[in-house]
Structure 1
Amino acid sequence: MRVVFEIKHPARVFMYGSVARILEERGHETLFVHSGRPTALRLLERMRLRHVPLPPTGGSLASRALGTLANAGRLAGIAKEFRTDFMVDGVSSALVSRILGLPHLFFFDSEPSRLVYLLVAPLTRYFVHPSSYRGPRPPGKAVEVDASKELAYLHPRRFRPSDEVFEYVGDKPYALLWKNTFTASHDISHYGFTLGEVVEIVRGLRELGLRVYAGSEGG
């Protein structure tokens, strides 16, 4: 079986990376398509997962809609060339799977992402959600799992903590700041901290004696 995973967020690399490894161990082939975010790209390469980039879809609702349609066309070509049997996640892959007559699975656990639900629910075949999910479910498609997506990569069978991290951060207290790109559909009209506010936060954390590490979803 040949499976295509569409990645929109770096965390999904961790989530589906473990699934891909299990499938490959059983003789199946996998391919990841992603939006080219540097963080996701580094994770895919570090985990040695086969991948193909797609152009980013933009931040506004209009540019995201046009970008999603354009990427669906590109993804259709990729899926045909890969001779895909099954597709996982992503609005574009949900549309492509319907056009190509392929089964599609979508994992959903975000009640605020109403637009994503409205787009994907009519197209996907398997709507997988955790038991904690309290949002709408498409009739006849919902599959409830008594777990969370974090277990896909933090379960003891898949995750082994490494002491190497102490070589980098030491054993002193520290703080981690993470910058969201705010380009997801559920981020429209939402904003994060300003640069000035971030500077004040960092200054305050340092005054508490914490070493501050900063990361970004986009790079």
Structure 2
Amino acid sequence: MSLLRSEEIASRLSKLRAELPSTAQLVAVSKFHPADYVIKAYEAHQRIFGESRVQELVGKWEALHESYPDIAWHFIGPLQTNKVKYIAPFIAMIESVTSERLLREICRQADRVSGSSINNRRVIPVLLELHVAQEETKSGFSRDELFALLETIHRTPEEWQGVELRGLMAMASNTEDEAQIEREFAFVRSVFDEVRTSGLLLCPERFTELSMGMSGDYPIALRHGATLVRIGSAIFGDRL
């Protein structure tokens, strides 16, 4: 499979951006693609990139961070607690928090990075992943589990200083049934609005991100208020 030229990636990015409202940002999903593709997208003014494997992300960050320090890396895949330490120093956002245990480990690693410095305390922005898809293989909180966690955080705010809750993330079912996808994204939006007005958030004004929608369903996600859309194949093509 031949590599895409810079012009092709730039053209695809331009087309996608033209479809996005001013309230939404594009996360270019660069997983399984070479660092060279990240550079080509960067040169076309893309700054947010999504990765789902820790080893691949760390490799790209090590290769690119000196020359491209303003890249914002988002982690968007399943994350094991024992891998958090590798991305905690530099990750811009972890979108795929699926358990209280994982959130506590992110806090712990943020504190470790901060060390004894109060002025330079590391706070990692996170999204809580809501499970709405039909596939049981997809992870995330149920609505009730989500609110149980929010209540725990609300009761013990001192335990969560290493993270900032910025919003929700969700993946729709892998289906051709657009009505099903529509229902799922509508549910995510309703839970998002419910959380924002629940009184359980420590900083409700910062809970603004709704990450949903990928290459095959992002127009539906945008109709339901997505602020982050995670698009890979429509930019970079099939994985190499």
TM class, shorter-chain normalised?
0.3 to 0.5
What TM-score results when the alignment is normalised by the length of structure 2?
0.32
Larger radius of gyration: 1
